[in-house]
Amino acid sequence: MSDAAYETVETDVLVLGAGGSGLRGAIAAAEAGARVLIVCKSLLGKAHTVMAEGGVAAAMHNVAYQDSWEVHFADTMKGGKLINDWRMAEIHAKESPERVLELERWGAVFDRTWQGRIHQRPFGAHTYPRLAHIGDRTGLELIRTLQDRAVHTAGIDVHMEVTVFKLLKSGRRIAGALAYRRSDGSLILYRCAALVLASGGAGKMYRVTSNSWESTGDGTALAYEAGAELRDMEMVQFHPTGMVWPAGVRGILVTEGVRGEGGVLRNKEGERFMERYDHERMELSSRDVVARAINSEVAAGRGTPHGGAFLDITHRKPEFIKAKLPSMYEQFLKLADVDITKQPMEVAPTIHYAMGGVRVDAETGASTVPGLYAAGEVASGLHGANRLGGNSLSDLLVFGKRAGESAGAWSKTHLKAAVAPIDLAEIDAAIADLKAPLDRPAGENPYKLQAEIQDVMTKHAPIVRDAAGLEEGLAKILELGTRVKTCGAGGSHALAFNPGWHTAYDLRSMLVNAEALLRSALARTESRGAHARSDYPKTDDQLTAVNFIVKKSPAGMQVRAEQRPPMPDYLADAVHRSYAHYTPEETE
């Protein structure tokens, strides 16, 4: 390989991902005076944020005057079963109202209250109606607003349909990244002083998921390979309500807004079973509780014909449903031939979100690698063991801005990083590695391998886990790891838009995420939030102050337990007050 093998592009801040956190981060970095380049795997405006339906959580108390940042903070901590980074949860609860109002000033159009304020809807495990929303397409509004703001902000450029496959360092610091253009397979060497990971989650390692082809955990894998620490990787969220039928749409999200607007869950016997799992909050319990409840009902033989639960909102007026849940109405009518104003929906849990991810500093979004930042789903800490609905969009805005600002400021003081020497041999090796599957026509088919990874994770890291299953899953993932090293691209040598070749690379990211999940899940010998173990069904108080940290070492992937500093009194009080007033069943 020679220099001519790739084009070199220089910038101050490189942002990976053009969802909510990437766009908000890019805007913040540009406002801090940095030249910003956004790189995304799809077209601009198609990132996963667009799928978010229900709303953005912010204690603006437009609907419930009693709401405050303290209650939002307590709800978030309780939802996360107290292993959240409490400082992130505090910042998030305090700053999200400001971020929502800012979005409105950038042109977002929210649903209104009769007083003309931004309307807020109730959502699972939020004490008060708190989700600012636009019907059930809040994510689209958010991404379009940020997209337009970003393209009209000087200093921001976008490279669409480009995949980054390696982060480059100069010494300990981030100095750039290697990427390929999906359209023609040509290579780009990005040089930058700071890099913001905003690349989303890894849902694609499961078979039934609400995530798209993009969610292969690239960000966590890139950070891990660059030596950054990952945290809480065992915590992946099953959204309780994904479509189950027909088979072709299995896993597609049914917004929690359905339950927020009054939808009830029933088993095949017509029983409103949430009564037995969370008598207080019923359908609006936290997602981990509702997902396990549906799972248990199906396991006990009380599931629907297609193995799920009925979600029924037919008691609401048709006009109400069409106004509040227009895209759900359309989705079921078109894809399942079900009129949700007349018939119940069939739903079952679907992999939705990674609470774990890159370990970041609460204030700045900095990872443990200097110059490398992370925000949004690829980062970890805010959501702990379980994310509340609506806290993701606010997460993107609050921490996207903070990470972008910090990266912008860092780039100003480390301008030389973008021209610092980097290891050319490392670049050549990475490129050779990327292209190798194209020259292995007889190598295994990447789609087959992807399906095998999905089968392993679905079978061995399901909603309820145990040591034997996790061990077996880990052994299989490690074995798949050796096979992926010699896999092909599916038979075609084409550099131009070759999804088989692209998948061959994505597999490696998925394997890092899968291994980290399984190892961390083995280490957490208790049940907590999204992580349920049949062999350790109780929550272990000793582990409340513990996060599991994943790091690359010469001997392979290492997992260690790390103690978290205790909450200061004023935050601990907010949580205790909340436990005293609401959800008594959780104090057990």
Partner 1 sequence: MDISNLDLNVWRGDAKGGEVVSYRVPVREGMVVLDAVLWVQANMASDLAVRWNCKAAKCGSCAAEVDGFPRLMCKTPIAEYGGQVSVGPMKAFPVVKDLVTDVSWNYEVNKQIPPFTPSDKDLSSSEPWRMQQKDVERSMEFRKCIECFLCQDVCHVLRAHDLKNAFYGPRFMVRIASLEMHPKDVLDRRSLLKGKAGIGFCNVTKCCTEVCPEHIHITDNAIIPLKERMDDEYFDPVRSIVRRLGGKDRKPPP
Known catalytic residues are 239, 259
State how far the alpha carbon of 1 is from the alpha carbons of 176, 306, 421, 428, 440, in Å: 18, 54, 17, 6, 19
Given CA atoms 417, 219, 498, 435 in this order, what sign does their dihedral have?
positive
3-state DSSP helix/strand/coil % of the chain, to nearest 5: 40, 20, 40
Our separate counts of H helices and E strands in the chain read: 16, 22
Least distance to partner 1, CB of residue 310, Å = 18
Which tokens in the block code for residue 123?
Answer: 């959502």
In the chain the first and final C-alpha atoms are separated, in Å, by 62
Closer by beta carbon to partner 1, 108 or else 164: 108
State how far the alpha carbon of 395 is from the alpha carbons of 19, 49, 139, 514, in Å: 12, 12, 13, 24
Closer by beta carbon to partner 1, 262 or else 499: 499
Closer by beta carbon to partner 1, 448 or else 538: 448
Least distance to partner 1, CB of residue 116, Å = 3
Which tokens in the block code for residue 435?
Answer: 């292209």
Least distance to partner 1, CB of residue 330, Å = 7
Q: How far apart are CA 242 and CA 253, in angstroms?
A: 4
Q: Please state whether beta strands 13-16 and 56-57 pair in parallel, antiparallel, or not at all (unpaired).
A: unpaired
The β-bridge partners of 560 are: 549
The β-bridge partners of 528 are: 531
Using alpha carbons only, give the angle 25, 30, 36 rounded to the nearest 5 degrees: 80
Closer by beta carbon to partner 1, 300 or else 333: 333
Least distance to partner 1, CB of residue 497, Å = 4
Q: Which residues bind partner 1 (CB under 8 A)?
A: 42-48, 50-51, 60, 101, 104-107, 109-112, 115-118, 134-135, 137, 139-141, 144, 148-149, 151-152, 160, 183, 212-214, 245-249, 252-253, 327, 330-331, 334-336, 445-448, 451, 489-492, 494, 496-501, 503
560-587 b/e (C-beta count within 10 Å ≥ 16 → b):
eeeeeeebeeebeebbeebeeebbeebe
Closer by beta carbon to partner 1, 183 or else 525: 183
Angle between helix 218-225 and 499-523 (nearest 10): 70
Which tokens in the block code for residue 201?
Answer: 């989650």
Q: How far apart are CA 555 and CA 557, in angstroms?
A: 7
Closer by beta carbon to partner 1, 116 or else 556: 116
Q: How far apart are CA 228 and CA 358, in angstroms?
A: 7
In terms of residues, how long is the chain?
588
Q: In what order do the strands lie in the sheet with 309-312?
A: 236-243, 345-354, 309-312, 264-266
Closer by beta carbon to partner 1, 299 or else 494: 494
Answer whether 36's CB lies under 8 Å from 156's CB.
Answer: yes
Least distance to partner 1, CB of residue 342, Å = 19
Answer whether 495's CB lies under 8 Å from 184's CB.
Answer: yes
Closer by beta carbon to partner 1, 328 or else 382: 328
Q: How far apart are CA 146 and CA 156, in angstroms?
A: 12
Least distance to partner 1, CB of residue 98, Å = 10
Closer by beta carbon to partner 1, 281 or else 352: 352
Q: Which residues contact 144 (CB under 8 A, 6 or more apart)?
A: 45
Least distance to partner 1, CB of residue 115, Å = 7
Closer by beta carbon to partner 1, 419 or else 496: 496
Least distance to partner 1, CB of residue 483, Å = 16
Which tokens in the block code for residue 91?
Answer: 């910042």
Nearest to 100 by CA among 67, 74, 135, 61: 61
Q: How far apart are CA 363 and CA 185, in angstroms?
A: 38
Q: Which residues contact 560 (CB under 8 A, 6 or more apart)?
A: 548, 549, 551
Least distance to partner 1, CB of residue 434, Å = 16
Least distance to partner 1, CB of residue 506, Å = 13
Q: Is 24 helix (H, G, I), strand (E, B) or coil?
A: helix
Closer by beta carbon to partner 1, 446 or else 529: 446
Which tokens in the block code for residue 218?
Answer: 């690239």
Least distance to partner 1, CB of residue 437, Å = 10
